[in-house]
Amino acid sequence: MKKHHHFERRNTKAILISALAAATVVGFTGCANEGELPSMPMTTLESTYFTETQKSAEAFSAQTAQTSGAPLETTEQTLETTEQKPAATTAETSAETTTETVKPEPVVHTERTEEYEDISYDTRYEYSDRYYKGTLQTKQAGKKGTLLRVTVTTYEDGVALDASITETVIHEPVEKVIIVGTKETTTQTRLTVTENVIPYRTETQTDASRYDDERSVLQEGKDGYTEVVYLITYEKGVEVSRERISERVFDVQHEIVSVGTKPAWKETSETERTNTVPHKTEYIYDNTVTDGKRIVKTAGKDGYTENLYTVKYYRGKLSSKEFVKSTVYEPTTEVIIIGTKKEESFGLPFLANKGYTLTQDFGGSHYAMDFGVWYGDPILAVKSGTVIYAYDEGDFPKSDANWTYGTFVVIEHENGVRSLYAHLKSRTVKAGQKVTGGQVIGYSGNTGRVNPAPTASNPLAGTHLHFEIRVKRNGSYVKVDPKNYIPYK
């Protein structure tokens, strides 16, 4: 900021007096504000022309006094006297002076003075809920500004003709900022706290259908705990009281992890066959073997080259295959026995041309076939076999169920089939004896329990053949319908 001041020369004496006064008091004044403004250098220009100006003024006064013929008491009196003289007298005096005295060249010079002045700062208030009520915080300190005022005065013969004033702001003032707290001094808050924590554990379940490097979480684990809610009172940020207002209990939930048990990596040995050579076949015919039956005596094997590898699998997929060795196998001739013996079939347990009738069939609680064979007629083996039981009437007490058969024979045939012949008059074979199909093993009678029972008057009553077929099933023999084996229609 600059200001310029210009003065017009109106009255030499008045200007002289002002100049003398200015020359006498040259400097500046300022007021300090809170000690924040540093002392500034003060420039005081003592007028080097003060003496000359004073002399010029005295000379001018003396000259005027001589011209006018009045004594010179003071500068002010001289000025007043000059102003009161008539115009004619002044003109005459001037004419005389001009005629008598040569006026000197005017002396012109300038004087510069500097003044420093403080610029006051403003104060601004900000409100914040970060600070409690009644609290003042200085956010920014205030700082005064500085104004430099330079005055340049031009003098002629000691008289101020012109003054130029320039004002420059050297330092702008910095406002002071104060934060005023608005936060309540007493506050309350709800605080949730976890207490009595029970850590969860991990439970493992195995899964044979998954690989041993597979793992999955079936149920996430959660710690059990008590959740407590407190009401807390603070006084200027310091806790002064705590009230328990509620609580909830959360049960622990254990983690369940499924882990596979099937090996992800599997290493095995594998073979590959190459260069196959077909085997030969040899046939042997045997009349002790049932006609048409084929028995492999020696299994035939093709010749080949076998390559051995070490193979690794990952999750069922081939990972690597490493060759180990090769082995050559020669072909083996296959030997097959072919039976030529005609198959023996089951026959009837009696002579077929006798015309015997079936008195009781298989069914209900009767697990046999009863035939009305005449007393003393021959009873035949239905098929070749071995006699395993041969008993006579009286060999078993009546406490044993076998007594009901009287005299009876049991023959073991092939393929787990047995035949039983009961109520015989007599038997012609013994246990352990080999028999052929159609061979006489005994004679028909009425021993054991028969109906009607024989009497003295009718000793042949109840005569018949009780015939059974038994088949081995699940380790024991069961009675089956004989019609499925013997040719009886």
**Domain membership flag for residue 126:** no
CA dist., res. 260 & res. 255, Å (int) = 16
Q: Which residue has the tokens 């040259």?
A: 26
C-alpha triplet 5, 10, 11: angle, nearest 5°: 125
> ω into residue 452 within 30 of 0, thus cis?
yes
d(CA 180, CA 109): 58
pLDDT digits (tens, 9 = 90+) for 380-396: 999 999 999 999 999 99
The pLDDT value recorded for residue 16 is 36
Decide if 193 is inside a domain: yes
Asked whether residue 33 falls in the same domain as residue 94, the answer is yes
Assess if residue 128 is contained within a domain.
no
DSSP 388-419: EEEE-TTSS-TTSGGGGG-EEEEEE-GGGEEE
Helix (H, G, I), strand (E, B) or coil at 100: helix
What per-residue confidence (pLDDT) applies to 308?
A: 94
Dihedral sign computed on CA atoms, order 66, 71, 76, 79: negative
Reference 386, options 418, 408, 415; nearest CA is 418
- CATH number for the domain including 239? 2.20.230.10
Last residue of a domain, one of 216, 245, 262: 262
How many other CB atoms sit within 10 Å of the CB of residue 259? Answer: 15
**What residue numbers bound the domain in which 236 lies?**
186-262
DSSP state of 432: T
Question: What are 438-463's pLDDT values in tens digits?
Answer: 999 999 999 999 999 999 999 999 99
- Do 240 and 331 have their domain in common? no
pLDDT digits (tens, 9 = 90+) for 107-156: 999 999 999 999 999 999 999 988 988 889 999 999 999 999 999 999 98
153 and 22 belong to one structural domain: yes
pLDDT per residue over 15-25, tens digit each? 333 333 333 33
- Token pair, residue 378, equals 């021959």
Q: Is residue 411 situated within a structural domain?
A: yes
Q: Place 26 in a pLDDT band, splitting at 50, 70 and 90.
A: very low
If asked whether residues 169 and 309 sit together in one domain, one would say: no
Report the alpha-carbon distance of residue 379 to residue 424 in Å, rounded: 8
- Is 60 exceeded by the pLDDT of residue 95? no
Long-range contacts of 101-106 (CB under 8 A, 24+ apart): 101/63, 106/156, 106/157
Confidence label for 287 from pLDDT (cuts 50, 70 and 90): confident
Token digits for 482? 């004989």
Q: What is the longest distance spanned by two Cα atoms in the chain?
A: 225
pLDDT at 233 over 70: yes
Q: What CATH number is associated with residue 437?
A: 2.70.70.10
150 and 105 belong to one structural domain: yes
Residue with tokens 């071995």, as numbered in its chain: 386
Tell me the pLDDT band of 100, cut-offs 50, 70 and 90: low
Cβ neighbours, 10 Å, residue 34: 11
HSE-CB at 117 with a 13 A cutoff on CA atoms is 13
Number of domains in the chain: 4
In the predicted structure, residue 28 carries a pLDDT above the cut 80:
no
> How would DSSP label each residue in 325-369?
EEEEE--B-EEEEEEEEPPP----SS-GGG---EEE-SBTTB-SE
Residue 114's SS3 state is strand
471 falls within a domain: yes
Distances (CA, A) of 314 to 157, 212, 273, 319, 376: 119, 11, 24, 6, 81
Same domain, 299 and 403: no
- Cα 239 to chain centroid distance, Å, stands at 39
Q: Three-state DSSP class for 13?
A: helix
Rounded CA-CA distance 392/426 in Å is 7
206 has pLDDT over 70: yes
Burial 126-159 (b: 16+ CB within 10 A, else e): eeeeeebeeeeeeeeebbbbbbbbbbebbbbbbb
For the residues of 218-258, what is the DSSP string, one character each? EE--B-EEEEEEEEEEEETTEEEEEEEEEEEEE--B-EEEE
Half-sphere exposure of 255 (CA within 13 A, CB side): 14
Residues 386 and 418 in one domain: yes
pLDDT higher than threshold 80 for residue 36: no
Which of 241, 469, 275, 227 lies closest to 367 in space, CA to CA? 469
- Answer whether 260's CB lies under 8 Å from 215's CB: yes
In a domain, 102, yes or no: yes
The residue among 262, 291, 321 that closes a domain is: 262
Q: Please state, in angstroms and rounded to a whole number, the distance separating the CA atoms of residues 209 and 246.
A: 48
Q: Is residue 74 part of a domain?
A: yes
The reply to whether 168 and 25 lie within a common domain is yes
- Average of per-residue pLDDT across 297-325: 93
Listed residue (141, 148, 149, 145) closest to 119, CA to CA = 145
Same domain, 59 and 208: no
Chain centroid to Cα 4, Å, comes to 81
Assess whether 360 and 231 both reside in one domain.
no
Rounded Cα distance between 408 and 427, Å, is 7
Name the token pair of 407.
């005299």
Strands 176-183 and 136-140: antiparallel
359 and 479 both lie in a single domain: yes
Task: Please report, for the domain that includes residue 335, its CATH number.
Answer: 2.20.230
Mean pLDDT lowest for which of 95-104, 228-237, 468-477? Answer: 95-104
Task: Give the H or E element holding residue 453.
Answer: none
pLDDT for the residue 293: 86
pTM, two decimal places: 0.36
Tokens 């061979």, residue?
439
**26 and 167 both lie in a single domain:** yes
The answer to whether residue 476 sits within a structural domain is: yes
- The domain boundary residue, chosen from 241, 262, 283: 262
pLDDT tens digit sequence for 313-370: 999 899 999 999 999 999 999 999 998 877 789 999 999 888 899 999 999 999 999 9
